[in-house]
Chains A and B, each alone.
Chain A
Amino acid sequence: KQEVTQIPAALSVPEGENLVLNCSFTDSAIYNLQWFRQDPGKGLTSLLLIQSSQREQTSGRLNASLDKSSGRSTLYIAASQPGDSATYLCAVTKSYDKVIFGPGTSLSVIP
């Protein structure tokens, strides 16, 4: 059974710091991995999608990497800003009916 974990569960950093969020999964036979952002009381916003054949994706200050063999993905946020404060979720897709979300990392960026 695929299990997805995220470390740390919560993170507080000063503005301007670079940071890394971690996502681990137990079954390496995945179709893709996606990182989402969720603001309190809101829906999920897709940040980056990495196909199983890819190693990384970049969007602005965000960079996500994927290492299927070790069952790991990292989300790197450069020069963090208070507006980055949110919960970050990773989701692993094995097939369309097997989308497993991690529990999320709650990020707080202090001005």
Chain B
Amino acid sequence: NAGVTQTPKFQVLKTGQSMTLQCAQDMNHEYMSWYRQDPGMGLRLIHYSVGAGITDQGEVPNGYNVSRSTTEDFPLRLLSAAPSQTSVYFCASSSRDREAFFGQGTRLTVV
């Protein structure tokens, strides 16, 4: 069972570069979301989606874009990377009223 798959697992970017973090789930979940986890800050919601074609902002959306063209995929785009975006990023999916499943995370370093 694949569950929630995130790629890449590790990434180093230079300031100003752009990149896309990939997230895919094979459980036909309608809800998908992106979090970042930082020491002392815990997990914070970046963007979320309640279904294909529908996205909305979470707590810390600035500097990130998302799209949801299919139920399975929910990529997170960094438009112009900044050192403040150095973090561990997690993608999660769930069905309404059900437990959330998380990916293994992407460790991003911006230098």
| Interface, chain A (partner B; CB < 8 A) | 32, 34, 36, 41-46, 49, 51, 89, 91, 96-97, 99, 101-104
Indicate whether B103 reaches chain A with its CB closer than 8 angstroms: yes
**CB–CB B98/A44 < 8 A:** no
- Hey, which chain B residues are within 8 Å of A99, CB to CB? 33, 45
| Inter-chain contacts of A34 with B (CB < 8 A) | 99-100
Residues of B close to A89: CB separation below 8 A: 42-43
Complexed CA–CA distance, A67 and B103 (Å): 30
Closest CB of chain B to A57's CB: distance in Å? 10
Least CB distance from B87 to A in Å reads 14
Residues of B within 8 A of A44 (CB): 43, 90, 92, 100, 102
User: Does B104 sit within 8 A of A, measured CB to CB?
Assistant: yes
Query: Is B26's CB within 8 Å of the partner chain A?
Result: no
Decide if A51 touches B99 in the complex (CB within 8 Å): no
B43–A97 touching, CB < 8 Å? no
A101's nearest neighbour on chain B, judged by CB, is: B43
B contact residues, total (Cβ < 8 Å): 24
Complex Cα gap A20–B98 (Å): 24
Contact call A97/B45, Cβ cutoff below 8 A: yes
Q: Are B50 and A46 neighbours in the complex by a CB distance under 8 Å?
A: no
Contact B102 A45 (CB under 8 A): yes
* 9 residue pairs bridging A and B, Cβ less than 8 Å apart: A34-B99, A43-B90, A43-B102, A49-B98, A91-B43, A99-B33, A101-B43, A102-B42, A104-B42
Closest residue of chain A to B6, judged by CB?
A43
Collect the chain A residues with CB atoms within 8 Å of residue B101's CB: 46
Other-chain residue from A49, A51, A97 in contact with B58 (beta carbon distance below 8 A): A97
Q: Are B97 and A43 in contact (CB under 8 A)?
A: no
Find the A residue at minimum CB distance from B97. A51
A36→B102 CA distance, assembly (Å): 10
